[in-house]
Structure 1
Amino acid sequence: MKALGMIAKDNKSSNRVEYYRLMTFLEILSILLYGFVFLFLLKDSQELVVDRVLTLFIATMAFFSTFLEIEGKIIQYLSLISFYAFTAQILLCNFLNEYSFYHFISLLIAFQAISIACGGIRVSRAYLICFGVIGILGVAFQTDMDYINKFLLCGSIAILSILLFIVIYAKNSFEQKLKFKEEFLRTLVSKTEEGILITNFEGDIFETNTVAISMFGYQAEEIENKNFSVLRKSHLTQEEDDKGVNQILENKFWNDEITLVKQDKSEFDAFVSITLIKNYGQEFLVYRVSDITMRKSSERELVNAKDLAEQAAIAKSSFLATISHEIRTPMNGVIGIANALDNTELSKHQEKFVNTIRRSSKNLLTIINEVLDFSKAESGKMTLELIPCSLKEVIEDVLDLMSRSAIEKNVALTSRIDANTPLDLITDPTKIKQILTNLVSNALKFTNKGVVHIDVRARAKEKRTFYLEFKVTDSGIGIPEEKLSNVFESFTQSDSSTTRKYGGTGLGLSICQKLVNLMGGNIWAKSEEGKGSTFIFSVKTSEYLKESDSAPIILSEVNDEEMLMGYKILIAEDNRINQEVALMILKGLGGTADIAENGKETLEACRQKNYDIIFMDVQMPEMDGLEATKLILDDESSFGSPYIIAMTAGAFAEDMKICLDSGMKDFISKPIMMDRLRSAIAKFRELVEL
């Protein structure tokens, strides 16, 4: 009964306990009614007073010790002693021919005490029938009682015997149910995979299951004499203890992951849940302990694997940045010299050679850019820059960029924007251009004749928000149906011969997919081998409502030969070839420049002359471009206030951010593209002319 009293805590269980006590109370009431009958119907009843007092005392003990095993046994023993003592009394009186009806009544009362403590259904029924019949017959054959008293007494004995049997039957039935529930709960607790420890509110253990015993390596009698704090690796501070106690009192539970100690002093990770149970005026704590050593070990392995993966990603990014810088630096010289040669008088053979150099350099640069873009997308370093832009200008920029490739392949490059599509948007135009450029470049690569067409329309429009759908259709070689599902995978082309024939890394479409996903859209393809392909992507965007149209600033038109004329220019560059390339390019724009090979020379040159514009490399010996820039901008009296443009082989967005954060006004990545250089110089002139 003890375990049941600790475990049963729900309302249903409490109601059953109250029912059980009610049955016990009715049993006591029946006994008192017996006493009432005999006290008032019998004239000489002084001999029964002691018997009734003893019976009432035993019944009261039974009521107030319903679930206490030791007291219950005491009641049982006292009742048995009472029964046998009164039985011996009757036998002795009978032997001495001194039997009286009062002694028989004492026997009945003694039996009532027995029925309270151990009244089994079968035994109680036999005793009640036997002594009920004998009692009624004994009363019936009394000669000194009138018929009315006999009738009342016999009826009372019969009714009260039946009532007492019903009460005993109900109480015993309930005891059997409680015993079944107790055994069921004990079995359930013993079969659970969790260790169960039951303590008082101070944490002293007095009940466990076999799992807990096995988990901690103690014998049952050993662990049940310990405090739970002994099983913890580290003892709680007073503050931690108070906090835990308050949480248990407020929420009736507490749980956490802690380290526990076995008997052999070995440690293990555990999840411990503590539940507060209040029953019968007492408080118990039920500890549920789960061994999570394997899980914690797996978590640690995952964390280590994550750290290693992050370190590998950092190493890969660093490696790619270094390789990009090392490749772009000589490429700047190759492309710059090729552009310079193209502006000289060349024979047809020489012109062909120069075009081959330029085309090969451009292809190599495209491959480098694709690898870098893929690396950034894969590492999650790409971010969106949502700004107002013109859809028409985005499409025109892509067409302008790809028109030369289309002309070289004799392929028509066309576009159409649906009339119901807003032209002023808030989106990331750079990402859209990159996606379209990759798709158009891919289409031109596999189209030898016909057309490549860009179609744009708004879908699922709701107020100002809608999906912008782009279709890039070509009349090229198409994609086999079995290969169509793999076209967006990294380093994938329709077959290996495609790479050999058309070139490329197989990263372009994978980059497109990552960019589209970044913009909250989808991309898919339709194709039929030999009849061309259609690549479709949609991105979520919104319409930009202009509050007012401001007139654009129009610079005076100048020829390339006059863009830098009259300005004092300094080139900070440590690579000799890149120095020569920069000088040739700037000379073509009407400028002459001085050279500084590192940051210190740059500072010294600025002390000697107030330069209007400085093209600053970042990675230089002795002092890099970033430090030189900060020193120049911090001391305007010594160095003037030049317009500093980064001209570096760094190609990542982080490189641009670092340069701009240092105070540089613009950023040009090597190899130097003339359009980008003209744009940077135009910004400089715009600032000067304002």
Structure 2
Amino acid sequence: MQTPPPSLEMQILSAMEEVVFSASFPELKIIYVSPSVETLSGYPIDFFKQELGAWWKMIHPEDTQIVKQALDSLNQNDKFRIRYRILTKDNQIKFVQSQGRLIRDESGKVLRFDGMVTDISELLFLQDFIKNESLDIKQLLLENNILFNGSQDSMFLVEIIDTGDFVIRRINSAYEKATGVSQTLIQGKTPIDLLGEVLGAPIIKNFRNAIKAKSTISYEESIPMPAGTKVWTTALTPIEVDGKFKFIIGASKDITEQKRAESALKESNERYALILEVSSDGWFDWDLTNDSVIYSRRWWLEFGNDEKPENVQISYWKSLIHPDDQEWVSEFLDNIMHSQRETFEFSFQMKKRKGNYAHVLSRCYIQRDASGNKIRMVGSNSDLTEIKKIEYTLRKAKEMAEAANLAKGNFLANMSHEIRTPLNGIIGFTELLLHASLTDEQKEYLRSIYLSGKSLLSLVNQILDFSKIDSGKMDLELISTDLIDLVRSTVDLFQISAASQAILLKLNLDPALPKFVSLDPLRVRQVLSNLIGNAIKFTHEGEVVVSVKPIKGSDDIIDIEFSVADTGIGIDISSQTKLFDSFSQADTSITRKYGGTGLGLTITSELIQKMNSHLRFESELGKGSTFYFVLTLHVNSSGSVSSNLFEEKQSTPDESIIVENNLIQNDILIVEDNDLNKRLLSKMLLKRYPNIQLRYAVDGADALNQFQKKIPDLIFMDLQMPVMDGYTASVEIRTLEKKLDRRTPIVALTAGAFFSVKDTAMESGMDDFLTKPISSVDLYNTVEKWLSSSRV
């Protein structure tokens, strides 16, 4: 009986160099092993089929643990892949790679263990060979890699296989970046695999054209890629190996942007031609070679004559320039022509067709030839007549406004200085007297003088606050604040004042109010204080009610209404329109009866506007008024209370005994031109520091002389003085100190509390700042800050 021919599968397995096997698990009894096992091991195939554990005998003793661990992991992973060594029948060592997996039925029961063993000895030998190869070969490989991946062009290598297919083997990094296709995605695929039949067929056609031409061919193509559709210019070069074309090297350059630019340029030129035609500006094209000009239709309608606007001599344009401008325009153009400038613009007067002159702005561009010679000037003319009129009107209005604003600023600054200077003496000497041994009656008189001075100082500060708002120099500082504590502590400040007038001051806080919100606590307190103070001031009997309640809210944003209602004198309808005007009150009789600057509500209204809200009111003459506003606030989970945000000021003067400090014995220079301020500062210093040495200078120049004679330990420097002011003196002292190895602290003294004074003082080299009237507490803190006991 004739043996049937082997099946196709058995023929394939017999032809394979790899050893294919199937075994029981975990017994590892061989069910099938391919014939190539004889070539690998030197043992006959029956050796493995008949002898249980025959394969174990071939494993190198040092690698048995590797195989054992892999087999142990099969129950968890169902597959493994390992490398180890075997000993052949003639005792040769071979390196093999073994991989296999468990085959299970539908219930998960193991049926068998299938796998493959590959001889990788030559691969490892080649790997070692490359590692040990000469530096020349390594350098060559490195250079080839640099050329391939260093190219800015997108390069690719295609293998021509025996079946006639084209398989992509490699692409460079520029190709990956340009197309969005990675090496792992494209490697080993044909154009059809990658792009499909429709897009892949033209590419294959190009590959065949390159082989047919037997030389480099170039073409443009548009291909959709993951990074977007690209337009390429591609060069294909066929490579011959052993008399047969085996590879194709491709180099593609992305010209997508170039194509887009060309299309955009064409579209732009067409659009620009239309714009020029309908533009209100006229344009011209001056041929510098023959001095002739071509004008646009728009230009010629405005400035031309009845002839055609073509090849007009430049002399015609020059004849239109106003006589007052002809000389300088001619000189200007002459300088331009002798310079290297390409673009410029200038404005002059030109005569129009109707005979009147117009202000014209010319914008020009000079074109050069390849040698750099000027051959052409193109440009446009814009009629500026109406703009010039508007500019003149605005300039005059601006000058007037700036002059008025400067005068107002100077007035406020000077008023502040002039009022604060005598206040410094009044409040300062009163404070010193209150530390002395006096009768109760004398102390009561002095307290009245002190509080009156403080009241006057508050008025000055209010005017300066208005100036800050008016100049736009006041900024809000948003802080997460305990809203309920802020409102309650503000109302508490007025309880004594209200009680002294037999007025009931009530606070209504809605239980639904959030505890912490983001706002400027200082300015909100100032607003509420102004409204509450006004309500108490203009109420003879009855009550003042402060209410705070939420209006609406969503998520972490809430609208909160603040209101202050009183049963006071009210406001008549005719006076309500000027209620928020600066330096005004409802009528002059209110000023006589109640006093005040008339700035309180103006400042309050401006501050509320800074908070993106409006101050509103309802009032009836003789029955009272209600002022209210709504703030949109951000709700927070935590924040600060008023005691941490404000340094609560004393409402009464400090009458405590001044404790002497005998440790400070330094030399102090007082630079002050006002005798009263000089005596006050001396008395305040000597009261606490009896062992100091005081020197005096009447102005900045005298201070420099005193400094050069003997360097003091501390300088108190007035800012506004005759001969030389404090700013200049400080700059000069800092210049002298550059040659010395020390720096003397300079403390600025000023009656001008304007917002820019402190910054200017610090910029001139001063170290600290005291505002008149000077508080004894602030003065002593400043001295001991700069003259610690360690410097005695």
For Structure 1 versus Structure 2, the TM-score category normalised by the shorter chain is 0.5 to 0.7
SS in 2 for 1:494: coil
> In the alignment, is the contact (CA less than 8 A) between 1:478 and 1:528 conserved in 2?
yes
Equivalent in 647, 670, 675 of residue 576 of structure 1: 675
> In the alignment, is the contact (CA less than 8 A) between 1:596 and 1:605 conserved in 2?
no
In structure 2, the CA distance between the partners of 1:502 and 1:636, relative to structure 1 (3 Å rule), is: farther
In structure 2, the CA distance between the partners of 1:241 and 1:686, relative to structure 1 (3 Å rule), is: closer
Name the count of aligned residue pairs. Answer: 463
Residue in 1 aligned with 2:359? 269
For residue 302 of structure 1, report the CA deviation from its aligned partner. 0.5
> In the alignment, is the contact (CA less than 8 A) between 2:660 and 2:687 conserved in 1?
no
State the one-letter code of the partner of 1:220: D
For residue 321 of structure 1, report the CA deviation from its aligned partner. 0.8
> In the alignment, is the contact (CA less than 8 A) between 1:260 and 1:268 conserved in 2?
yes
Q: Deviations over 1:574-602 (max 9, x none)?
A: 22222343455567778886544446659
For residue 298 of structure 1, report the CA deviation from its aligned partner. 2.2
Aligned partners of 2:614, 2:423: CA distance in 1, in Å? 36
Equivalent in 378, 381, 386 of residue 470 of structure 2: 378
> In the alignment, is the contact (CA less than 8 A) between 2:482 and 2:639 conserved in 1?
no
State the one-letter code of the partner of 1:221: E
> In the alignment, is the contact (CA less than 8 A) between 1:273 and 1:287 conserved in 2?
yes
SS in 2 for 1:261: strand
Q: TM-score, normalised by structure 2?
A: 0.47
In structure 2, the CA distance between the partners of 1:314 and 1:229, relative to structure 1 (3 Å rule), is: same
For residue 479 of structure 1, report the CA deviation from its aligned partner. 1.7
SS in 2 for 1:492: coil
Equivalent in 402, 417, 438 of residue 345 of structure 1: 438
Overall identity of the aligned pairs, in %: 32
In structure 2, the CA distance between the partners of 1:212 and 1:325, relative to structure 1 (3 Å rule), is: same
In structure 2, the CA distance between the partners of 1:677 and 1:293, relative to structure 1 (3 Å rule), is: same
Q: TM-score, normalised by structure 1?
A: 0.53
Residue in 1 aligned with 2:388? 296
Q: Does 1:221 align with 2:221?
A: no
For residue 430 of structure 1, report the CA deviation from its aligned partner. 3.1
Structure 1's unaligned 5+ residue stretches are 1-188, 245-255, 275-285, 553-557
Q: Deviations over 1:291-311 (max 9, x none)?
A: 542431221221232134224
In structure 2, the CA distance between the partners of 1:594 and 1:206, relative to structure 1 (3 Å rule), is: closer
For residue 328 of structure 1, report the CA deviation from its aligned partner. 0.8
> In the alignment, is the contact (CA less than 8 A) between 2:507 and 2:547 conserved in 1?
yes
Residue in 2 aligned with 1:526? 618
Equivalent in 709, 718, 724 of residue 617 of structure 1: 718
- Once the two structures are superposed, the pairs formed by residues 50-449 of structure 1 within 5 Å of their partners are 204=293, 216=303, 219-221=305-307, 225=312, 230=318, 234=329, 259-262=348-351, 267-270=357-360, 291-341=383-433, 345=438, 348=441, 354=446, 357-358=449-450, 360-387=452-479, 391=483, 394-395=486-487, 398-399=490-491, 402=494, 405-406=497-498, 408-413=500-505, 415=507, 417-449=509-541
For residue 495 of structure 1, report the CA deviation from its aligned partner. 1.6
SS in 1 for 2:472: coil
Residue in 2 aligned with 1:501? 593
- Once the two structures are superposed, the pairs formed by residues 23-38 of structure 1 within 5 Å of their partners are none
Q: Which has the higher contact order (CA 8 A, sep 6+)?
A: 1
Aligned partners of 1:447, 1:679: CA distance in 2, in Å? 42
SS in 2 for 1:326: helix
Aligned partners of 2:428, 2:564: CA distance in 1, in Å? 33
SS in 2 for 1:384: coil
SS in 2 for 1:513: helix
State the one-letter code of the partner of 1:565: N
Q: Deviations over 1:475-497 (max 9, x none)?
A: 32222244334311223322221
SS in 2 for 1:653: coil
SS in 1 for 2:307: helix
Residue in 2 aligned with 1:177? none
Higher normalized helix content (fraction of residues): 1
For residue 649 of structure 1, report the CA deviation from its aligned partner. 0.7
Q: Deviations over 1:133-180 (max 9, x none)?
A: xxxxxxxxxxxxxxxxxxxxxxxxxxxxxxxxxxxxxxxxxxxxxxxx
SS in 1 for 2:615: strand
Cα-Cα RMSD:
5.3
Q: Does 1:561 align with 2:657?
A: yes
Q: Deviations over 1:178-221 (max 9, x none)?
A: xxxxxxxxxxx9xx9x9997988978558968x966x54x6423
Aligned partners of 1:636, 1:455: CA distance in 2, in Å? 64
In structure 2, the CA distance between the partners of 1:259 and 1:621, relative to structure 1 (3 Å rule), is: closer
Q: Deviations over 1:53-97 (max 9, x none)?
A: xxxxxxxxxxxxxxxxxxxxxxxxxxxxxxxxxxxxxxxxxxxxx
State the one-letter code of the partner of 2:677: N
For residue 345 of structure 1, report the CA deviation from its aligned partner. 3.0
Aligned partners of 1:332, 1:259: CA distance in 2, in Å? 60
State the one-letter code of the partner of 1:298: I
> In the alignment, is the contact (CA less than 8 A) between 2:516 and 2:639 conserved in 1?
no
> In the alignment, is the contact (CA less than 8 A) between 1:324 and 1:651 conserved in 2?
yes
Aligned partners of 1:341, 1:418: CA distance in 2, in Å? 48
> In the alignment, is the contact (CA less than 8 A) between 1:573 and 1:595 conserved in 2?
no
Aligned partners of 1:352, 1:548: CA distance in 2, in Å? 38
SS in 1 for 2:626: strand
For residue 409 of structure 1, report the CA deviation from its aligned partner. 3.6
Name the stretch that deviates more: 450-459 or 583-592: 583-592
Aligned partners of 2:629, 2:787: CA distance in 1, in Å? 37
SS in 2 for 1:561: coil
Q: Deviations over 1:402-460 (max 9, x none)?
A: 56644554445554554544555543333333323322332232123444444444555
Aligned partners of 2:387, 2:750: CA distance in 1, in Å? 49
> In the alignment, is the contact (CA less than 8 A) between 2:480 and 2:638 conserved in 1?
no
> In the alignment, is the contact (CA less than 8 A) between 1:561 and 1:588 conserved in 2?
no
State the one-letter code of the partner of 1:345: L
> In the alignment, is the contact (CA less than 8 A) between 2:551 and 2:561 conserved in 1?
yes
Structure 2's unaligned 5+ residue stretches are 1-276, 365-377, 645-653
> In the alignment, is the contact (CA less than 8 A) between 2:507 and 2:545 conserved in 1?
yes
SS in 2 for 1:448: coil
